[in-house]
Structure 1
Amino acid sequence: MSQTKVKERKLTIARAMAEAVAQEMRTDDRVFVMGEDIGQLGGVFGNTRGLHEEFGSKRIRDTPISETAFIGAAVGAASDGMRPIVELMFVDFFGVCMDAIYNLMAKNTYFSGGNIPVPMVLMTSTGGGYSDAGQHSQCLHGTFAHLPGMKVVAPSNAYDAKGLMLAAIRDQNPVVFMFHKALQGMGWLGTEPDSVVHVPEEQYMVEIGKANVVKEGNDVTIVGITSGVHHGLKAAEQLAKMGINAEVIDLRSLVPLDRETVLNSVSKTGKLIVVDEDYHSYGMSGEIIASVVESGIELKSPPQRIAYPDIPIPFSRPMEQWALPSAEKIVAAYGNMESK
């Protein structure tokens, strides 16, 4: 019997996100998009490319530079039965609109006793590495994961980006969709090639709250978020040359956090390294380590975290590259574990 070979259709994360939004807009009239430069430009990071041509300015709404205004408007629209998607161009801009995000978007369902859901998606860019300094380069995963009332997702590849976007749009809760700029597929940002993967044309959802074991291993668990996943896979290749078989986990979802997948892996390997481009202290890396330690799993060596130093992100390229996580830092962390 002959087998039909499935043709690969590789997309960037940006195109996968735009495709997911378009497919949902075709089937649900309640879905619309608001943000700065998301119309004819197609979004600074390509997330809404082609949508304005298909759906027009009523459903793809370019807004003035007032994040508080359009995020607040989205909260109202979601509370009234619509399913808005808004783009906060850089996550660093959260400071000017945190009241709309946290005191409105995240809390209104609770305040209403569950009677008024707020089904909206806030998509926002994260990450550095291209010398855009401290106001355009942060990740802030821990900032949003720390605040109850909203789900938080962070894909590392185009397949997950499409599936998580469809899941986020259909979710009854507000969802923060954090995409890393260096994984988007925009050439001027220096795209990670491994983020460009096969994406089916049909609609599908990736479960929010479920991590993915992207590489199995027995000697050490490497847990990554967005760019950290790719650093982890590259480190695993280097460690393999030393006879070390690393397991690499892509969290994909920060809230809910899939602790079970992490715990199952660490109970097998006995060693843990967490990789996150967010700041070192008080973040997701510490939360994951705390979850493992609190579980009572017997570790063979102290857990390690590779994260951004607790400093403002430098504009200088050599200084920024020095501070960023890397595969080499992960390999060195494993060496530190072995020496203790």
Structure 2
Amino acid sequence: MPLISLLLCVLIAISPLAENRPDGSDFFSYRKIGEDYQGSYALDNKHVYYCFDKIEGADVATFHLIGKNTGYSADKNHVYYTGKIMKGAHPKTFKMSNANIACDGKDYYSYGIPFHVSDYKSFRPGYNNWSVDKNYIYYTDDQTEKDEIHSIPVGDYKSFKGLNEQYAKDIYHVYFKTKIVEGADPATFHTFLQSRYFGQDKNCVYYENKATEVKDYNKLKVAKENKNFYVDGKNFYTHEFLKMPEGTNIKHLTNIACGDWSKDQKRVYWKNRIVKGADAKSFDALPSLYLYEGSAADNNKDYDYAKDAHHIFHKDTLLKDADYATFVCGWDGLNKVAFAFDKHRYYEGHPTPLIKKYRMGKMKVEHN
């Protein structure tokens, strides 16, 4: 019997049943209890786990999921979002309010982040990224590395409504994210399915929170000569609806490095501005150096810095004093810092451990 038991344990240990369990978990009581968009919850007779990591202090007996595929869970002591304690949230009253917003009787939450609502009773989840109470508009910015909730005073609570992920309006104002779109007419303002970055009222088309020279989006067509530009029969416009200067040769206009630069046979442009002093023939975006731990790569092009045969440029500005031979730009992936420097000075960013290591020649560079 002892030999049979030993063989059975060995067979179980090497079988598929033993795979995908956290180290130290109990084989016989371990089980998954649900998943969300980031990972899965599981528990055994002693511990609760999220993505195979133990949730310290979680009470197994009272632990449960809140909603389906929401990321929220709770026990008698805490509310959790993707396995992390939500400080201040009340487990007894916590529940889902709608598809992606939760509440606990004192505050509302989006993806685990508290709104810190001004007036709980009047709060109403809105369309897409928008919510509102009688005092404030709440905008959930999901374009940042970590979702952030911003609040701005509301013009009129009753008439407020979200139009798409980035535009909203009430009877007094049009909003783009956290900014009022100055001059926009709320009564006639509307958005388009083609993009969340522009809208239109009776006066003109708006790109983000700025009015443009385009009067009617429906009269614009994609330029046959270059699909990155628009034409209305007379003028050419960038993707931000900025009118290109007179003399632009649209037939020979090419985009540079998927950024805001373009050039024709004679001139270089940043958005719709002429880059003075730039040589169109030799102009190109600079390599963007990406630093991370022990390595550096220059496989991509930079969006802000460029060069021609003799000069360095920042957007539409010639950097007269930049040292051409030693100028470097890029992104410190560890410290989340953009940088640009030469042997004399920093034009952007500041020294970090990775940048110092690179400048001392102690980092391997992987070239294209």
TM-score, length basis structure 2: 0.25
> Which one has a bigger Cα radius of gyration?
2
Q: RCO higher in 1 or 2 (8 Å CA, sep ≥ 6)?
A: 1
| Structure (1/2) with the larger strand percentage | 2
TM-score (ref. length: structure 1): 0.26
The structure where helix makes up a greater share of residues is: 1
